[in-house]
Amino acid sequence: METQQPPGQWDFPPPPATPPQAMTNVELRVGKRLLWVDGAAYPLRNIARVYTFTLHPKRKEAVLRFLKHAGITLAVAIGLSIIGSVTFMASRSAGSGLLTFVWLGSGAALIYFLVDMLSVLTAQSHYVLAIETAGPSTAMVTSRNPQHLDQLVGYVAGALENPDTEFQVTVERLTISSPANYYFGDNVNMYGGSGNVGIAA
């Protein structure tokens, strides 16, 4: 496909065609008034915003979630242990079997919660290019070269102003374990007012 530069303020050298040693490559191309990100097509007229940002894991929330789940698990285990010791005073073998089961289950749950927390704490931050549409869809890609993504913002923005523009580059697929473990969107500080409704990230 022939590469054309958007005219005017977006006149700078095109981004490199292939980032060095990309793990999982994705083709990002503009042509015929469509933005293609791998196999997904986004009409240029529906693109509301193109920007870069650093996608950070929710580390603080992961620690607080672990402490909450660990506290509940230990409280339940201690409560069941007290009830079991009172109920099975006559039969020590039944009581010890129940206590063993309760504490083995609690230990397994604590290990699960610990692994879940560590997976978020050790997760990497990613510098990404995000393309938001007028609807709920957002496409995100990444690159080992942050300048590459910053240049692509200019190229996609130039294509929005000049729909006949065509270009094609290779970027990397964003691979994360769980989107729920990352901050998406903007941070907003709101002062004053009443009845404010929104989502804080």
- Measured distance CA(16)–CA(20) in Å, rounded: 9
Which among 62, 14, 28 is positioned nearest to 173, based on CA atoms? 28
| Sequential pLDDT tens for the chain (201 residues) | 444 444 444 444 444 444 433 357 878 888 888 888 887 888 888 888 888 888 888 889 899 999 999 999 999 988 888 887 777 655 666 557 777 888 899 999 999 999 989 988 888 888 888 888 887 777 788 877 788 888 888 888 888 888 787 888 888 877 776 667 677 655 444 455 555 454 444
| pLDDT value of position 6 | 47
Given this model, what pLDDT does residue 193 score? 52
In angstroms, what CA-CA distances link 63 with 9, 55, 73, 139?
46, 18, 15, 29
Q: How far from the centroid of its chain's Cα atoms is residue 131's Cα?
A: 14
Strand partners, 57: 182
Look at the block and give the residue holding tokens 């292939």.
Answer: 18
Amino acid at 96: S
